[in-house]
Amino acid sequence: MDGHWSLIFFISTLYVGSDMNTIFKGYLLIIGITSCVMGLWAMLGPNFVSWYPAFDGVERYTPLANFIRTMSGVFVASGYILIRFIFSSSKVQLGTVLIYLCVFMLLGKVCGLVYEGYHFHDIVASILGVITLIGLTYVHKKRKDLINYDL
């Protein structure tokens, strides 16, 4: 029996190794869904969730509340990209990731403007975000047109 332990360990690591992909994908799926739900909740809800300790002392109609709504868009985008990465067989391009981040941050910024009010800084940041989104989309489209698919 002593001579067979190395074979037993080798077979057991192969067996566990084949399931590790499924385990990691399940974990990443849970993290992605949680990021999307928490981000959408913080972004679209009129009041912050009271059971989440980080939002305990945040008051409405403050620049911090508007910032939290904007950054919650990053959580939604990250969760969506993570879920898309798990179920997609194609590579997600960096330009696409940046566009998703920018779009969801702008969506969070709009929610912040609706729920928390308008401040000069928020309007300037929104305009700069829209210009950034337009620039990212334009450059990404031009770069896609330059890729040679005949390789």
Least confident of 11-15, 74-78, 131-135, 143-147: 11-15
Quote the CA–CA distance of 128 and 132 in Å, as a whole number: 6
Render pLDDT for 23-33 as a digit per residue (tens, 0 to 9): 888 999 999 99
Domain spans of the chain?
2-146
Average pLDDT over residues 18-43: 87
Render pLDDT for 141-151 as a digit per residue (tens, 0 to 9): 888 777 666 55
Tell me the percentage of the chain whose pLDDT exceeds 90. 30
- 79 pLDDT above the threshold of 90: yes
Q: How is residue 38 written in tokens?
A: 């928490």
Q: Is the pTM of this model over 0.75?
A: no
Burial class (CB in 10 A: 0-12, 13-18, 19+), 100: buried
Q: What pLDDT was estimated at residue 21? A: 78
